[in-house]
Amino acid sequence: MISCVFSRHNSPIVIERPLNRIEFDDLLMEYNTEEGPTANVSVSVIITLNSARIYDDILRTSITMEQIWRDMRLSFKGVSEVPLPNSVRIWQPDTVILNALSYDTKMTSLFLNFDGTIRKKQLLFVEVLCDESPNVTMKSDILECSLELTSFSNRGCEQITYSVEKINNDRIAQLRGRRLNAFLNLTKAEEKDVFRVNAIEDNLIDMIL
């Protein structure tokens, strides 16, 4: 026998959630958008490959790129992350894809955490020229298509350093019959199903399919 017990509440159930109350005018009162948070800024990068197509050795790809850095001048009393309104102007790293044949930013969103961590999320359409992989002797159909990330001018600070924390390409298995050349070379790890990432001079990061 299965018995069920039901109870009826006459009073409404109230769920209290902590709120982040931010007065952006007060937060930005003495904020200088032309100065970086520190002399040396570290930017973590997360890349998601949404779609890709190769035609005449040119990679046309849609990527979601997230850049994460910390600016203690923007810390506030709270417990979570809030979206930044379009009207709020803050310092941002002047990141560019240096080797792009074309580069189009479709969407940009900014989020601010209470500890001053900023997350910039962008939807990008990029075209880059590919080369045959020099590391493959028998399979000439494998291409290397690099996305070279760097700061254009280290605006507002002495140096901006990039590090790729995660690269997602689970949605893409083949490019018109070409197999992805998949390595992770940043820490000289074994071959994995991710982009190849090489740290080279002048804070340049070379990400290769």
Q: Which of 129, 121, 149 is nearest to 207 (CA)?
A: 149
Joined together, the tokens standing for residue 84 give 């930044």
* Domain tally, the chain: 1
CB-based contact 82:111 (threshold 8 Å): yes
pLDDT in tens, 35-93: 999 999 999 999 998 988 888 888 899 999 999 999 999 999 887 899 999 999 999 99
- What CA–CA distance (Å, rounded) separates 69 from 196? 23
Length of the chain equals: 209
What is the residue range of 161's domain? 32-131+150-177
DSSP state of 5: -
0.85 surpassed by pTM: no
- CATH number of the CATH domain containing 81: 2.70.170.10
